[in-house]
Chain A
Amino acid sequence: MIRLVAVFFLVVAVTPAQAQFNFNINKIIDSAKNLRSATHEISEPEEISIGNDVASRLLGAAPLAAEPRLQRYVNLVGRWVAAQTSRPGLPWRFGVLEAPQVNAFAVPGGTVFVTRGLVERMKSEAELAGVLAHEIVHVQQKHHLKAIQKGAQTALAGDALAYALKDARSTEARDKLLSLGTELYSRGLDKADEFEADRLGVVLAARAGYDGYGLPAVLQTLQAMNAQDSSLALMFKTHPAPGERLGALGEKMQPTLDAYAAQPQLVERFAAEAKSR
């Protein structure tokens, strides 16, 4: 890369020939393109490493709820649901954040958070499994990872030279990538990704043996809450409205939901493990 910079300045300084100048600009833009395509295939270890950084930042906004029993319980439910995905070998881990807001977050590489505010509004393990399944699908489908990459590509396209002249692995580039990553949790994913996570989340929960109505039941609860409730602000900003999500599930998932509706909801186990403080 340094050689490229040298060539660039040399060309600008010594040869005024327009043709040659263009040639070298193209070469630099090409290298920017390479960087973009290089980010296209983020390896699993890289995904996990990016995820660790993002998860650490989210934990900087809200710490874990100080209840080991609750944390272990959520990890058991989550790990079992994650075992039904196409990526069972990821280092899956789950955490309840000490925050009154109602929300859940998926982080690339297999980390999932749910807020205490949301857990408190659930009525069964099937509901918890449904919410975790939705987040697990985001990880399985690499929704956030792809959005981070897309953001990085836009940044590159907008400022091709500046980025082409930087090592992709430099701290600065990494910081940029990270803030893009964290920002995503305030901005939200594409609606289509959310609807896909709802559909496949229902499928995952049913695969894990739960009543698939857990996720729709949580959406019903959210829908019944006052939309002005400030604890919903971020969740509602980053997701389609619960009523809209329920409508979409009804359109496509009714047969799946009905086929597995008799599977366990585990109301009592949830009450014992998640509500015992």
Chain B
Amino acid sequence: MMRFLIVLLFPAICWAEPATVVRVTDLKKEPATDAATVTTLAENVAVDAQERKGGWVRVRAGAAEGWVRLLALRYGGTAQSGDSGARELFNAARTGSSGTQVTTGVRGLDEQMLANARPNPAELAKMSQFSSTADGAAAFAAQGHLQRRVVPEVK
């Protein structure tokens, strides 16, 4: 079952997905800043995004192939350049949740449910049963080869 699920899951990461470059970006031969530049991609160029390696995504842009910065990509077919795209997205979301429009019938945790919610202390008590101890979490982290690092904050 597990293997089946992994097989199902990997394509989601590896398969080509349409994406757009949101700023002028170098297409690199290897996933590294100091790698050779294949070409420079203009803003809004459509690419096919493939696998990700660290902060880099392998893409095909026309005939060219190489690696671009993950953060220079936005997934999805339509070109959404920087701010205007973001604003469009934001506004669309706002209109959709104005409360006067009935959305397409997803039930569960929406604004109205929140407003009408009654306390559920039984469920809260149940939740505490699943909590982990600090030691338990540390052992779990070690199993996954996760190592504590010193990483400075960025304000």
- Please determine whether B154 and A199 come into contact, CB atoms closer than 8 angstroms: yes
Tell me the smallest distance from the CB of A187 to a CB of chain B, in Å.
9
Tell me the smallest distance from the CB of A58 to a CB of chain B, in Å.
7
- Please determine whether A211 and B54 come into contact, CB atoms closer than 8 angstroms: yes
**Is A163's beta carbon under 8 Å from chain B?**
no
1/0 per residue A44-64: CB within 8 Å of B? Answer: 000000001101111111111
Residues of B within 8 A of A63 (CB): 120, 123
Which residue of the partner chain, among B117, B131, B154, contacts A252 with CB atoms under 8 Å? B154
Cα(A160)–Cα(B127), bound, Å: 38
Cα(A271)–Cα(B7), bound, Å: 10
Kindly report which residue of chain B lies nearest to residue A256, judged by CB atoms: B154
Tell me the smallest distance from the CB of A220 to a CB of chain B, in Å.
5
Within 8 A of A (CB), among B98-129: 103-111, 113-121, 123-124, 126-128
Cα(A253)–Cα(B124), bound, Å: 36
Q: A58-B114, A63-B123 are in contact. Are A88 and B109 (CB under 8 A)?
A: no
- Please determine whether B131 and A94 come into contact, CB atoms closer than 8 angstroms: yes
- Please determine whether B109 and A234 come into contact, CB atoms closer than 8 angstroms: yes
- Please determine whether B93 and A237 come into contact, CB atoms closer than 8 angstroms: yes
Q: A76-B140, A93-B127, A271-B9 are in contact. Are A227 and B92 (CB under 8 A)?
A: yes
Cα(A246)–Cα(B69), bound, Å: 12
- Please determine whether A209 and B148 come into contact, CB atoms closer than 8 angstroms: yes
- Please determine whether A271 and B2 come into contact, CB atoms closer than 8 angstroms: yes
Which residue of the partner chain, among B13, B80, B137, B147, contacts A267 with CB atoms under 8 Å? B13
Residues of A within 8 A of B149 (CB): 206-207, 209, 260, 263
- Please determine whether B132 and A75 come into contact, CB atoms closer than 8 angstroms: yes
Q: Report the count of interface residues on B (CB-CB < 8 A).
A: 80
Kindly report which residue of chain A lies nearest to residue B111, judged by CB atoms: A186
Kindly report which residue of chain A lies nearest to residue B2, judged by CB atoms: A272
Tell me the smallest distance from the CB of B113 to a CB of chain A, in Å.
4
Which residue of the partner chain, among A55, A252, A263, contacts B124 with CB atoms under 8 Å? A55
Kindly report which residue of chain B lies nearest to residue A124, judged by CB atoms: B13
Cα(A257)–Cα(B56), bound, Å: 11
The A interface is mostly helix, strand or loop, or mixed, namely: helix
Which of B54, B93, B109 neighbours the largest number of chain A CB atoms within 10 Å of its CB?
Answer: B109
- Please determine whether B103 and A233 come into contact, CB atoms closer than 8 angstroms: yes
Within 8 A of B (CB), among A19-77: 52-53, 55-64, 68, 71-72, 74-77
**Is A152's beta carbon under 8 Å from chain B?**
no
- Please determine whether A92 and B106 come into contact, CB atoms closer than 8 angstroms: no
**Is A240's beta carbon under 8 Å from chain B?**
yes
Q: A71-B130, A230-B105 are in contact. Are A59 and B124 (CB under 8 A)?
A: yes
**Is B150's beta carbon under 8 Å from chain A?**
yes
Given contacts A100-B106, A103-B109, A223-B89, 19 further A-B contacts (CB under 8 A): A56-B121, A57-B114, A57-B120, A76-B132, A78-B132, A80-B140, A80-B141, A111-B127, A123-B13, A182-B117, A209-B149, A217-B70, A227-B93, A233-B96, A233-B103, A234-B109, A241-B93, A264-B146, A267-B9
